[in-house]
Chains A and B, each alone.
Chain A
């Protein structure tokens, strides 16, 4: 029988187990120490938190705010997401309105957390730069980004940089074991290995994978993890590559289109898998390293925000060519 819901409380674990204070943060030790010194001196400069996804950037910003302002921290901060607030005017107006009003309380400034700020256009960044200068007294900015290089130089030079890195394996494992224990899940060693392999140190992804795996109500081993990863991202990259190598570009592109549009698979995930596959697939050996060069170039373009399907299908065309060379050679 199903239990009544009142006794159940489910949250996304990624949120439930998010550290609440800087002291709770197990990783990014150096960064945490510096942030703690800000809290101690009751002063925070403008900051840039840069690093790959799932490494604790947003968490660090929120912990800093909570340590600084106490439980009422929400009244003193604002979170804005560049991906959702596309219009430069929205960003400009909202940011300005928030920044110029003085905070009431012991600490004379508020904190504006600008997440995914590498998605802001250059124009919006220029506008932001002026706002940052003008309202420094009343508002400090924490810019969060995957790539700090996409933030314009004048802003970078006004901010204290913090570089977040993927969690080391031990801390990654410790974290997941801690969650498994609390949620009464049997997490096996090979399951843990599999999660690390699939998620590559992205803790949010790792926790989401663990929770989805737990929903199956059986011990979480490698097999379960791989099946979850496969279902979450049904990127049948292998099949797509085979299709291309056989010379059927149009069909391969159609599969790619399905992955991106129907299943929302990220281009970066597809390209990572392609990179693994090209060394396994049967094509002339010297071509493999040439292909790797193309893969790298296209990976870079995707980071820069190019069209996923167009770029990846250019790669598919290369595979068609490689398959053709193989046929000619044999």
Chain B
């Protein structure tokens, strides 16, 4: 049973360099460097892998050791906290040659994990190891350019790992599909791969969460993830806008938003007033939003989309600059735009009103849109108060049962009117 629940990141971890996703250049640089050890100790005795998480830095070393049957001595930040501890481990690993005639490679992972005072001396100890190593040392961190590593860098061959493209991530996922015997729609796979933004580990984790125990995975199974992401990202976007300190930072929020401009407008319009409790701030914010809306109108009437930039100015920077007196205090939840929700809830009702509008249009030389606004309120009064007149009008306008019910607002009345129509 255990294999069923094993993490797929481990279960399907590449065992050979050929299976490692992307980063072909970096891998080649690394392989060449290790091979150079055969001709004697090279100038740089340590290789420093750096790059964002989950893109195969550690896996590369492991797969290489496996391919070339080398012994891998692996430690990560949680194992070495102090100078002493590192020396104990590193001295053992680097000074001795191979024990069993097998070549050895030493991996010090998660150097970012060395923090401040607790790991005082840690970096210095590692630097000493890199200087004097007798076997290949691989160091791994997300950010090699952390000032703490400035001296260490001098003794290392820097190898950058980059985010693999979605196509490469998909290849890896496909390999897992085959081994797990799961059928997956191509666009579902693509969605997961793109969403991970090159983080293969998180892609595999997501994939396992969605696909485990299934025979088949379709797009609908995965697309809801987008909503979850969006919810989270829209909140931070709103925070950037409402509490923005500069115009440019507020404007930048638009690029981070996962929704289109109109929807973002709705989010801001819904939430900004709840956060801006000072009346003057509120006025400035609402003025800005109303100006953004004016520019939306100008886009509509001219069909010139370049006006969008002013819409963005007013809805982001304008709102950010509105906040002059309100302090960021307490926690106010962000709400989904209520009027969008209301609109979708009343959709059926509005459709009915428009249908009646079309009936009126046929008789009264007026657009259905206008008819539903200008005639409907009066028809409602008539249908409520005067069954005879209502029946006559229903007949004249050729209204159906549903429309009569809608206008009469009570079932009894609708029945009475329908009776008369017949």
Stretch among A24-32, A128-136, A159-167, A249-257 lining the B interface: A249-257
Contacts A314-B287, A320-B279 given; does A84 touch B361 at CB 8 Å: yes
Q: Contact: A12 with B364, CB < 8 Å?
A: yes
Q: Contact: A204 with B339, CB < 8 Å?
A: no
Q: Contact: B365 with A305, CB < 8 Å?
A: no
Contacts A257-B339, A318-B283 given; does A232 touch B388 at CB 8 Å: no
B364 — which chain A residues lie within 8 A by C-beta?
12, 14-15
Q: Does B372 sit at the interface, judged by CB under 8 A?
A: yes
Q: Contact: A264 with B339, CB < 8 Å?
A: no
B26 — which chain A residues lie within 8 A by C-beta?
none
Q: Does B346 sit at the interface, judged by CB under 8 A?
A: yes
Identify the closest chain B residue to A208 (Cβ).
B378
Q: Does A188 sit at the interface, judged by CB under 8 A?
A: no
Contacts A10-B393, A250-B273, A264-B373 given; does A232 touch B286 at CB 8 Å: no
Q: Does B368 sit at the interface, judged by CB under 8 A?
A: yes
Stretch among B42-50, B83-91, B379-387 lining the A interface: B379-387
A-contact bits for B305-339, CB 8 A (1 contact / 0 none)? 00000000000000000000000000000000011
Q: Does B293 sit at the interface, judged by CB under 8 A?
A: yes
Of the candidates B282, B297, B343, B369, the one whose C-beta lies within 8 Å of that of A320 is: B282
A313 — which chain B residues lie within 8 A by C-beta?
273, 286
Q: Contact: A310 with B293, CB < 8 Å?
A: yes
- Alpha-carbon distance between A311 and B302 when the two chains are bound, in angstroms: 20
- Alpha-carbon distance between A112 and B309 when the two chains are bound, in angstroms: 39
Contacts A84-B369, A232-B381 given; does A261 touch B293 at CB 8 Å: no
- Alpha-carbon distance between A209 and B302 when the two chains are bound, in angstroms: 38
A301 — which chain B residues lie within 8 A by C-beta?
290, 293-294, 297
- Alpha-carbon distance between A298 and B374 when the two chains are bound, in angstroms: 22
Q: Contact: A208 with B367, CB < 8 Å?
A: no
Q: Does A11 sit at the interface, judged by CB under 8 A?
A: yes
Q: Contact: A2 with B388, CB < 8 Å?
A: yes
Q: Contact: B339 with A309, CB < 8 Å?
A: yes
Q: Contact: B361 with A81, CB < 8 Å?
A: yes
Q: Does A121 sit at the interface, judged by CB under 8 A?
A: yes
Identify the closest chain B residue to A266 (Cβ).
B373
Identify the closest chain B residue to A3 (Cβ).
B388
A-contact bits for B329-366, CB 8 A (1 contact / 0 none)? 00000000011001100100000010000101101111
A-contact bits for B268-307, CB 8 A (1 contact / 0 none)? 0100011000011011011101100110110011110000
The residue among A12, A250, A305, A324 with the most chain B CB atoms within 10 A of its own CB is A12
B121 CB to closest chain A CB (Å) equals 57
Q: Does B395 sit at the interface, judged by CB under 8 A?
A: yes
Q: Does B175 sit at the interface, judged by CB under 8 A?
A: no
A83 CB to closest chain B CB (Å) equals 4
Q: Does A52 sit at the interface, judged by CB under 8 A?
A: no
Q: Contact: B293 with A8, CB < 8 Å?
A: no
A53 — which chain B residues lie within 8 A by C-beta?
374
- Alpha-carbon distance between A204 and B371 when the two chains are bound, in angstroms: 11
Q: Does B222 sit at the interface, judged by CB under 8 A?
A: no
A-contact bits for B403-422, CB 8 A (1 contact / 0 none)? 00000000000000000110
Q: Does A205 sit at the interface, judged by CB under 8 A?
A: yes
Q: Contact: B386 with A217, CB < 8 Å?
A: yes
Q: Does B391 sit at the interface, judged by CB under 8 A?
A: yes
Identify the closest chain A residue to B386 (Cβ).
A215
Q: Does A5 sit at the interface, judged by CB under 8 A?
A: yes
Q: Does A321 sit at the interface, judged by CB under 8 A?
A: yes
- Alpha-carbon distance between A299 and B395 when the two chains are bound, in angstroms: 39
Q: Does A275 sit at the interface, judged by CB under 8 A?
A: no
Q: Contact: B290 with A311, CB < 8 Å?
A: yes
Q: Does A58 sit at the interface, judged by CB under 8 A?
A: yes
Contacts A215-B389, A261-B342, A264-B353 given; does A310 touch B290 at CB 8 Å: yes
Q: Does B97 sit at the interface, judged by CB under 8 A?
A: no
Counting contact residues on chain A (CB < 8 A from B), the size range is 35 or more
Q: Does A157 sit at the interface, judged by CB under 8 A?
A: no
Interface size on B, residues (CB 8 A): 61
Q: Contact: A233 with B386, CB < 8 Å?
A: no
A-side interface mostly: helix
- Alpha-carbon distance between A323 and B279 when the two chains are bound, in angstroms: 9
Q: Contact: B269 with A310, CB < 8 Å?
A: yes
Identify the closest chain A residue to B419 (Cβ).
A2
Q: Contact: B382 with A212, CB < 8 Å?
A: yes
- Alpha-carbon distance between A311 and B358 when the two chains are bound, in angstroms: 29
Q: Does A19 sit at the interface, judged by CB under 8 A?
A: no
Q: Does A228 sit at the interface, judged by CB under 8 A?
A: yes
Q: Contact: A324 with B279, CB < 8 Å?
A: yes
Q: Contact: B293 with A317, CB < 8 Å?
A: no
Contacts A208-B375, A261-B342 given; does A116 touch B370 at CB 8 Å: yes
Contacts A232-B381, A310-B293 given; does A116 touch B342 at CB 8 Å: no
Q: Contact: B377 with A232, CB < 8 Å?
A: yes
Q: Contact: A253 with B421, CB < 8 Å?
A: no
The residue among B361, B370, B380, B396 with the most chain A CB atoms within 10 A of its own CB is B370
A15 — which chain B residues lie within 8 A by C-beta?
363-365
B113 — which chain A residues lie within 8 A by C-beta?
none
Identify the closest chain A residue to B280 (Cβ).
A321
Q: Contact: B290 with A298, CB < 8 Å?
A: yes
Of the candidates A5, A58, A304, the one whose C-beta lies within 8 Å of that of B420 is: A5
Q: Contact: A232 with B378, CB < 8 Å?
A: yes
A262 — which chain B residues lie within 8 A by C-beta?
346
Identify the closest chain B residue to A144 (Cβ).
B365
B372 — which chain A residues lie within 8 A by C-beta?
264
A142 CB to closest chain B CB (Å) equals 12
Q: Does B182 sit at the interface, judged by CB under 8 A?
A: no
B350 CB to closest chain A CB (Å) equals 8
B213 — which chain A residues lie within 8 A by C-beta?
none
The B122-152 residues at the A interface (CB cut-off 8 A) are none
Q: Contact: B367 with A314, CB < 8 Å?
A: no
12 contacts across the A-B interface (CB closer than 8 A): A2-B388, A8-B388, A8-B392, A10-B395, A11-B392, A12-B393, A58-B366, A83-B369, A217-B386, A249-B282, A261-B342, A318-B283
Given contacts A231-B380, A232-B381, A321-B280, 12 further A-B contacts (CB under 8 A): A2-B387, A8-B392, A58-B366, A79-B365, A83-B369, A214-B389, A216-B386, A217-B386, A231-B377, A306-B294, A306-B296, A317-B285
Sort A-B residue pairs by CB-CB distance and give the 9 closest, nearest first.
A10-B392, A232-B377, A215-B386, A314-B290, A83-B367, A317-B286, A81-B367, A314-B286, A324-B279
